[in-house]
Amino acid sequence: MMSARRLAGWVLPAVLAVTVMLTACSNSGGTSESQDGTQGGGKEKITLKFSFWGDTIEKKTVTEALERFEQATGIGVEPMHVPADYLTKLTTMVAGNVAPDLGYLSSGAALSWGADGKLLNLTPLIENDPDFKKEDYLDQVWYEIAPGNIIGMSTAVEGYGLMYNKDLLLEAGASLPPTDADKAWDWDTFVEYAKKLTLDDQGRNALDPNFNPDKIRQYGLQYDPYNMMAAVVSNGGNFLTEDGKGFGLAQPEAIEAIQKLADLMYVHHVSPTPMQTKNLPDTALQTKKVAMTVSGNWALQAFAEQDFNLGVGVLPKLKVSNTLLDGAPTVIFKSTKHPEEAWLLYKYMADPESVLPLIEGGLWMPLKKEWYTNPDLINKWAAGNEAHPEGYTEAYMKQTIENGIRTPGFEVKNLDKINALVTPALDLVWTGKKTAEEALKGVEPKVQPLIQGYYGR
């Protein structure tokens, strides 16, 4: 938790910055408004609705950030926290013409709603704002429907890597996962260590010929196969073919990678099946049910609250070292009556200083480039706290900005309809009912007519 002195140190500059932005906006020829958020002539105070999801910590931090914005600008903000069935509620609101002014949105909905004209194009606001520089933000975070039509950027950056119980690896005499991309484990080495760390009820590991895979008390690895795209791209594949015309997951490189993930469960027995995963607690690393896990940055927030020796490393590689770069967007809805004020709030929430507790607490990674390069800013969030263990700056921070590959949700057209076919097909792989080749080649004829290429190209 931040001290009051530290909190005051960054709230004041943010307040001053937003006040300056508001003044510039008011003099830009747009809607006339005073600095207390009221329309010119003393009309009713402007109030924006901001919708978002998240756990208790995220709800508290976002709400407090919105309150600071309101205090700084006089523009009212009504937080709209939706903890469950978020997209269903937003869809109903949009259909009823009562959408919020801005807020979180899933990537699939954002792309389709943006293409349908339901979201505001941010490009004119960006180009006409002298205080905002697009190049200050990571290139990978932008959602662009077409050249010149930006519908938003990620609410936060989320990179992926290995997280592990360091004590378990040391007890087993296993090498710790590398934090340097150049030294990433190849797949065979990764599997070998996962076997060494997988134990049956008699304490035999999966390298032992007498190992009993039906009575596992400790898994060497928990690898959610739905995070498969890092392995697919590492092996030279992708969701679609490079030209955007073919089903990339049905190509040999993708099939091979996906099969290797399934083999972790059904051939090597080092990772739990989806059914077995349901029986594992959220504290699986702490309680020694699992030695290593592949997860996104957000898991650090929960792990920081658990009592165990957490370590981090880069993902294993097939051909090249990489990581997934994820992050659903924040958008401004086209129906807003206050686009300039909504843009002010949008910028404020995209500034890492405004939501620093979520970043230093491990839930989010920042959007701005300088927070990955400036030592003083890095020390504000990525070092010296329980949520960011030794090696984090190399294994997660550096790997994300240098070798992060965007998930299909950033750019694949018609993704929701394609996934409606692909997900059930992959379920057959993850449950061991079909090989990757059988499932993906089988669904390819149905997927192919739905492929429309990439957004923003």
Mind listing the pLDDT tens digit for each residue in 152-173?
A: 999 999 999 999 999 999 999 9
Residue with tokens 């990489």: 322
Host H or E run for residue 332: strand 329-332
Q: Which residue has the higher pLDDT, 37 or 84?
A: 84
**Phi and psi dihedrals of 139, rounded to 5?**
-65, -30
pLDDT at site 43: 64
CA dist list (Å): 167 to 54, 164, 179, 297: 31, 9, 17, 21
Sign of the C-alpha dihedral, residues 352, 10, 380, 385? negative
pLDDT at site 34: 44
Per DSSP, which regions of 133-212 are E strands? 142-146, 149-154, 158-165, 199-200
Mean pLDDT of the chain: 90
In 3-state terms, the chain is what percent helix, strand and coil (to 5)?
A: 45, 20, 35
DSSP, collapsed to helix, strand or coil, labels residue 163 as strand
Over residues 10-14, the mean pLDDT reads 33
Q: Which residue has the higher pLDDT, 5 or 243?
A: 243
Q: Which residue has the higher pLDDT, 133 or 19?
A: 133
Do the Cβ atoms of 122 and 332 come closer than 8 Å?
yes
What is the amino acid identity at position 199? L
Exposure on the CB side of residue 66, measured as CA atoms within 13 A:
21
Do the Cβ atoms of 240 and 263 come closer than 8 Å?
no
Over residues 336-359, the mean pLDDT reads 96
41-63 pLDDT, tens per residue?
456 789 999 999 998 989 999 99
CA dist list (Å): 367 to 22, 50, 227, 372, 373: 22, 19, 22, 9, 12
Is the pLDDT score of 21 beyond 50? no
Lowest mean pLDDT among 29-38, 206-215, 268-277, 305-314: 29-38
Lowest mean pLDDT among 4-18, 129-143, 332-346: 4-18
Q: Which string of b and e fits 16-54 if b means at least 16 CB within 10 Å? A: ebbeebbeebbeeeeeebeeebbeeeeeeebebbbbbbb
450 band by pLDDT with thresholds 50, 70 and 90: very high
Question: Which residues, in sequence order, are CB contacts of 36 under 8 Å at separation 6+?
Answer: 45, 74
**Phi and psi dihedrals of 247, rounded to 5?**
-85, 100
Give the global pTM: 0.86
Cα of first residue to Cα of last residue in the chain, in angstroms, is 43
Domains and CATH numbers, the chain: 4-157+327-350 (3.40.190.10), 158-325+405-450 (3.40.190.10)
